[in-house]
Structure 1
Amino acid sequence: MVQAKCGEGRVKDFADGYGTHNTLILGADTAAISEEDLLRAAALLREGETVAFPTETVYGLGGNALKPMAIRKIFKAKGRPADNPLIVHIADREALDGLVREVTPLAEALMAAFWPGPLTLVMKKQPEVPSEVTGGLDTVAVRMPAHPLARRLIRLSGVPVAAPSANLSGRPSPTRCEDVIRDLSGRVACILCGALSDIGLESTVVDVTGSEPVVLRPGGITLEMIRAAVGTGRHDEAVDRKLVEGEAARSPGMKYTHYAPEAEVILFRGDPEAVLAEICARAKQLSLEGKRVGVMTFDERAQAYSDCGEVISLGSCFQPEQVAQNLFRTLRTFDERAVDVVLSETIEDSGLGKAIMNRLIKAAGYRIVQVEKS
Structure 2
Amino acid sequence: CWWHMSIARTVISEAMKASFPATRVVNIDPKNIDESALMRTIVPALQSGEVVAFPTETVYGLGGNALCASAISKIFKAKGRPSDNPLIVHISNLDQLNRLVAPGAFPLPGTLTRTLCDRFWPGPLTILFPKNERVPTNVTAGLDHIAIRMPAHPIARKIIDLCDLPLAAPSANRSGKPSPTCASHVLFDLGRATEVQPDAENSFKFGEGTGIGFLVDGGECSVGVESTVVRVEDFKILRPGTVTLEQLKAIDSRFQLLSVVQKQFTDKKDLSKEEEKDLAAPATPGLKYKHYSPSVPVYLFNYQDNLEVLQSNINSFIENKLQIGTKVGILNIHKELRYPQSDQLMLCDIGDSPSAVAKNLFAAFRYFDEQGVDMIIMEGISEENEGMAVMNRARKAATEIL
TM-score tier after normalising by the smaller chain length = 0.7 to 0.9
Contact 1:299–1:314 (CA under 8 A) maintained in structure 2: no
Cα distance change, pair 336–12 in 1 and its aligned pair in 2 (3 A): closer
Of 245-254 and 171-180, more deviation after overlay is shown by: 245-254
TM-score (norm 1): 0.88
Aligned residue number for residue 18 of structure 1: none
Which letter maps to 2:83?
A: A
SS of alignment partner, residue 342 of structure 1: strand
Quote how far apart the aligned CAs of 1:31 are. 9.8
Aligned residue number for residue 168 of structure 1: 174
Output aligned runs, 1:1-374, within 5 Å: 3-4=13-14, 12=20, 22-27=22-27, 34-39=34-39, 40-101=41-102, 102-104=105-107, 105-186=111-192, 187-208=211-232, 210=233, 213-233=235-255, 234-241=257-264, 247-269=280-302, 270=304, 271-301=306-336, 303-304=338-339, 306-307=341-342, 309-316=345-352, 319-365=353-399, 367-369=400-402
Quote how far apart the aligned CAs of 1:42 are. 1.3
CA–CA separation in structure 1 for the residues paired with 2:401 and 2:84: 27
Contact 1:99–1:125 (CA under 8 A) maintained in structure 2: yes
Contact 2:56–2:152 (CA under 8 A) maintained in structure 1: yes
Which letter maps to 2:138?
A: E
SS of alignment partner, residue 348 of structure 1: coil
CA–CA separation in structure 2 for the residues paired with 1:85 and 1:291: 39
Quote how far apart the aligned CAs of 1:228 are. 1.3
Quote how far apart the aligned CAs of 1:232 are. 3.0
Deviations 1:137-194 (A, max 9, x none): 1000000001111100011111110000111111111111111111111111210001
Quote how far apart the aligned CAs of 1:10 are. 7.5
CA–CA separation in structure 1 for the residues paired with 2:29 and 2:318: 39
Quote how far apart the aligned CAs of 1:275 are. 2.2
Cα distance change, pair 121–130 in 1 and its aligned pair in 2 (3 A): same
Quote how far apart the aligned CAs of 1:302 are. 5.3
Which letter maps to 2:388?
A: K
Which letter maps to 2:37?
A: D
Quote how far apart the aligned CAs of 1:82 are. 0.9
Contact 1:27–1:33 (CA under 8 A) maintained in structure 2: no
CA–CA separation in structure 2 for the residues paired with 1:303 and 1:281: 12
SS of alignment partner, residue 261 of structure 2: helix
Which letter maps to 2:115?
A: A
Quote how far apart the aligned CAs of 1:273 are. 1.6
TM-score (norm 2): 0.82
CA–CA separation in structure 2 for the residues paired with 1:289 and 1:37: 54
User: Which ranges in structure 2 are unaligned for 5 or more consecutive residues?
Assistant: 1-10, 193-210, 266-274
Of 130-139 and 272-281, more deviation after overlay is shown by: 272-281
Contact 1:4–1:25 (CA under 8 A) maintained in structure 2: no
Cα distance change, pair 182–30 in 1 and its aligned pair in 2 (3 A): farther
Of 66-75 and 303-312, more deviation after overlay is shown by: 303-312
Deviations 1:200-239 (A, max 9, x none): 110110112x1x5321100010111111112233554532
Cα distance change, pair 282–128 in 1 and its aligned pair in 2 (3 A): same
CA–CA separation in structure 2 for the residues paired with 1:98 and 1:81: 25
Cα distance change, pair 30–182 in 1 and its aligned pair in 2 (3 A): farther
Contact 1:4–1:27 (CA under 8 A) maintained in structure 2: no
Contact 1:53–1:193 (CA under 8 A) maintained in structure 2: yes
Percent same amino acid at aligned positions?
41
CA–CA separation in structure 2 for the residues paired with 1:12 and 1:344: 33
User: Which ranges in structure 1 are unaligned for 5 or more consecutive residues?
Assistant: 14-21, 370-374
Deviations 1:22-62 (A, max 9, x none): 31101189997521221120111111111000111111110
Quote how far apart the aligned CAs of 1:122 are. 0.5
Aligned residue number for residue 196 of structure 2: none
CA–CA separation in structure 2 for the residues paired with 1:232 and 1:207: 13
RMSD: 2.4
Greater RCO (CA < 8 Å, at least 6 residues apart): 2
CA–CA separation in structure 2 for the residues paired with 1:306 and 1:28: 43
CA–CA separation in structure 2 for the residues paired with 1:142 and 1:107: 12
